[in-house]
Amino acid sequence: LGKLPDQLGGRQVALVSLVVEALGQGLLWIAPDPVFALAGATLTGLGFSLVFPSMGVEAMRRVPAQSRGVAVGGFLAFVDVTAAVTGPLAGLLIGALGYRSAFLAGLAACVASAALIAFGMGGGDRSQT
């Protein structure tokens, strides 16, 4: 599936991937047994796997060729910051409200991200330029 962001556009693939990831987080949040949890983890992983390359494709398509190195650096810096912050925040949330709260927060983050992609990126889809 790695070619999908290039073929269909990063924005579209990221949006669908976030919906799949949100479904997985929702299943993990409500999982009554290990089968539901496994299904949720599978959907979460499948969705998450294409968000990073899809957003990378969008970052590269939105800057001139001579600025792509800076764009990649900025994109990766944001990914690193979110990775560094998410773990401790999830730990605090779990400590205060239990494990299920982390999956609810993940679901909320996916929905917010999908909304931002769907309605907040502006300028229409530039994936074909």
d(CA 119, CA 75): 20
Residue 64, domain member (yes or no):
yes
Domain housing 71 = 4-119
Query: 3-state DSSP call for residue 44?
Result: helix
Sign of the torsion formed by the C-alpha atoms of 120, 121, 126 and 127 = negative
Structure tokens at 19: 């919906």
128 lies in some domain: no
Output the pLDDT for position 121.
Answer: 65
Per-residue pLDDT of the chain (129 residues; tens, 9 = 90+): 888 988 898 999 999 999 999 999 999 999 999 999 999 999 999 999 999 999 989 888 889 999 999 999 998 999 999 999 999 999 999 999 999 999 999 999 999 999 999 998 654 444 444
Full-model pTM:
0.85
In a domain, 127, yes or no: no
